[in-house]
Amino acid sequence: MKLKEILSGIEGIKAKGEVDREIISIENDSRKVKKGSMFFAIKGFSTDGTTFIPNAIENGADVILIEEGSCDYKSLQIPSNVTLLVVPDARYAMAICACNFYDNPSRKFKLIGVTGTKGKTTTTFMMKEILEKQGIKTGLVGTIAVYSGNKMLKESDRTTPESIELQQLFAKMADD
């Protein structure tokens, strides 16, 4: 997918380098980056993603996206063949890019969100069971696991995955 299409809907982008390029994957984990990837260097709770930029470049990243003010851009030593994108809010940009990259999968089905402090897992499994008994295909993203129909896609390690993984899961569910 073209980088310009992935960035659609994001305002305030500053770019250094080629923006008319093909991107084959979007990643926020430098270990998953390969040639043709776009890497999101996000500041997390315990780790700053900008420290993994050298790893992402070494693994083949063609595009690096960082948040404005997150670091000294000149100290990053981005090679001339790698595009650097600076945005006002990197986490928001990652969510928009993930939606665009996976073709906005949640628009292809009805989506129900359950929020609260207690009872989300019980509520979602009850809803899944009720809907399936009515012949409605379901998917579930929760604290225990992720399901597409009756097939468990993966065990979960948290209630809500990061936006890239969430959109990837939604795309799989839409295909199923």
Mean pLDDT, rounded, for 82-90? 97
Q: Does the pLDDT at position 160 exceed 90?
A: no
Per the listing, tokens 């097939």 go with 151
60: DSSP letter: T
Amino acid at 64: I
pTM of the entire structure? 0.91
Place 30 in a pLDDT band, splitting at 50, 70 and 90: very high
85: DSSP letter: E
**44-47 LR contacts (CB < 8 Å, sep 24+):** none
- pLDDT tens-place string over residues 105-153: 999 999 999 999 899 999 999 999 999 999 999 999 998 999 999 999 9
Burial 132-150 (b: 16+ CB within 10 A, else e): eeeeeebbbbbeeebbbee
The pLDDT assigned to 53 comes to 95
Pairing of strands 63-67, 83-87: parallel
DSSP output for 95-154: HHHHHHHTT-GGGGS------SSS-HHHHHHHHHHHHHHTT---EEE-SSEEEETTEEEE
Per the listing, tokens 């003010």 go with 69
- pLDDT tens-place string over residues 40-82: 999 877 888 999 999 999 999 999 999 998 777 777 889 999 9
Structure tokens, 55: 């790893």
| Least confident among 20-29, 70-79, 148-157, 161-170 | 70-79
Q: Does the pLDDT at position 28 exceed 90?
A: yes
